[in-house]
Structure 1
Amino acid sequence: MAGCCDDDCSVDVLQEKQRGTLKTVLFINATMFLVIVAAGLYSRSSSLLADSMDNFGDALTYALSLLVVSKGVSAKARVALFKGLLITLGGCIIMGQVIYKLFEPTTPIFEVMGAFSLLSLVANSVCLYLLWRHRNEDVNMSSVWECSRNDIAVNISVFLTAGAVWLTDSGWPDIIIATCLVILLLRSGYNVIMSATKELKAAR
């Protein structure tokens, strides 16, 4: 590339690769959010709704990450901080839904839970594969990786929950797993917030 030194060209190429990956995973997660939230509402499953909220949070995360690919460390750290807060908010929303179900118990439709959790697992596995090579590049991409890694655990948990609902003919497995997913989301949010805060302090 004319007019740039080797380091500048390397950075440009890296940022372009990051943009391409983020656009792809953004499309996948935005689509899956619409699909899974509809399935979660239809099946009355808190754990499947937690899955859909995870996709929604990821879609916002990827969109924000695209905005700061070429920005400095401080800008990336601020966006990562916002991502951590989004993850935490998603966990709190699902926690409220779980508390509501304790007073208004329902038995989810396990067939819908199982089928759509597997569909989501396939989609998120593709995203995780695409993001693997970027996971250690900067705080922006590492926070994206953190979000995506959680998705696999969420999908597997929801699938296993569908089996437990079928075996017990009860909504309790759904409530229990949704509670565990809330803890996972809150822990992930905390990790991203702490990492972003550390980067912000170092950039001052």
Structure 2
Amino acid sequence: MDSCRDNDAPFEGLTPDYRRRLWLVIIINAVMFVVELSAGAMAGSRSLQADALDFLGDTFTYAITLAVIGTQLRTRAWAAFAKGLSLTVMGLWVLGITAYHILVVGVPRAEVMGIIGFLALAANVSSVLLLLRYKEGDANVRSVWVCSRNDAIGNIAVMVAALGVWGTASRWPDLIVAAIMAAIFITSSVQILKRAIAELRSVGAANQAGPAAERP
């Protein structure tokens, strides 16, 4: 295991292996965003489109994580804070779109939902396995793991929605799953924001203690 595990300091992502894995995950998410957004539009599925949005958000989240690796704790904490806010915005957007489409007539195509949901699940499980070794760390690193884990959960939910749509010939399973995914976005954002705020407070406390310690 890396030397970062040999002390109490949280892992900051400073190893070449972590950077390589993060690049692979970024590529996987960017490709799946395009695939799933197109399939969601073709199938008329809100849950597929919500999951595609999650892939897009994760692509930017991982890119920000990669960009701030090695910077000061304050910078990394603010980056995590921004990612937490973006998850909140995505969750609220999906909730709004889901509420709007409750009034829209049309049943999504269950077979497309199932196929793309399985493909997305395989992509996200691959991402989870790539990042499993680094699931603990500072707010910046932790946010990557939280997003990857939630993606896998969301893909399972999309496949459940596909079965529900197929079995009931109704759009309600799709809309319900989209709403659940929005709630997952918001819950995850709260976790990331709490961690980032705690780190920002620790930086502030350290800055205050520094000048005080220098006084005679």
TM-score of the pair, normalised by structure 2? 0.86
State the partner residue of 2:43: 43
Please report how far the alpha carbon of residue 101 of structure 1 lies from its aligned counterpart in structure 2 after TM superposition. 0.9
State the partner residue of 1:3: none
- Distance across 1 between alignment mates of 2:72 and 2:20: 19
- Distance across 2 between alignment mates of 1:12 and 1:153: 25
- Distance across 1 between alignment mates of 2:189 and 2:104: 28
- Distance across 2 between alignment mates of 1:115 and 1:156: 12
Alignment of 1:184-195 (within 5 A): 184-195=184-195
AA paired with 1:75? T
Alignment of 1:70-81 (within 5 A): 70-81=70-81
Contact map agreement 2:45 2:174 (CA 8 A) in 1 = yes
Give unmatched runs, 5+ long, in structure 1: 1-6
Contact map agreement 2:12 2:69 (CA 8 A) in 1 = no
Please report how far the alpha carbon of residue 56 of structure 1 lies from its aligned counterpart in structure 2 after TM superposition. 0.5
- Distance across 2 between alignment mates of 1:168 and 1:137: 44
Contact map agreement 1:18 1:69 (CA 8 A) in 2 = no
Please report how far the alpha carbon of residue 17 of structure 1 lies from its aligned counterpart in structure 2 after TM superposition. 2.1
AA paired with 1:135? K
Give the fraction of aligned pairs with identical amino acids, expressed as a percent. 37
Alignment length, in residue pairs?
195
- Distance across 2 between alignment mates of 1:13 and 1:158: 31
State the partner residue of 2:170: 170
- Distance across 1 between alignment mates of 2:155 and 2:195: 25
RMSD over aligned Cα, in angstroms? 1.7
Please report how far the alpha carbon of residue 14 of structure 1 lies from its aligned counterpart in structure 2 after TM superposition. 3.9
TM-score of the pair, normalised by structure 1? 0.91
State the partner residue of 1:121: 121
Please report how far the alpha carbon of residue 13 of structure 1 lies from its aligned counterpart in structure 2 after TM superposition. 9.1
Rate the CA distance shift 1:131–1:12 in 2: closer, same or farther, 3 A: closer
The structure that has the greater radius of gyration is 2
Other structure's SS at 1:103 match: coil
Q: Deviations over 1:117-173 (max 9, x none)?
A: 000000000100111111113221111101111001100000011011000000011
- Distance across 1 between alignment mates of 2:12 and 2:193: 27
- Distance across 1 between alignment mates of 2:81 and 2:18: 19
Contact map agreement 1:15 1:70 (CA 8 A) in 2 = no
Contact map agreement 1:121 1:152 (CA 8 A) in 2 = yes
Alignment of 1:105-184 (within 5 A): 105-184=105-184
AA paired with 1:153? I
- Distance across 2 between alignment mates of 1:102 and 1:24: 37
Please report how far the alpha carbon of residue 105 of structure 1 lies from its aligned counterpart in structure 2 after TM superposition. 3.0
AA paired with 1:94? V
Give unmatched runs, 5+ long, in structure 2: 1-6, 205-216
Rate the CA distance shift 1:163–1:13 in 2: closer, same or farther, 3 A: closer
Contact map agreement 2:12 2:141 (CA 8 A) in 1 = no
State the partner residue of 1:4: none
AA paired with 2:38? A
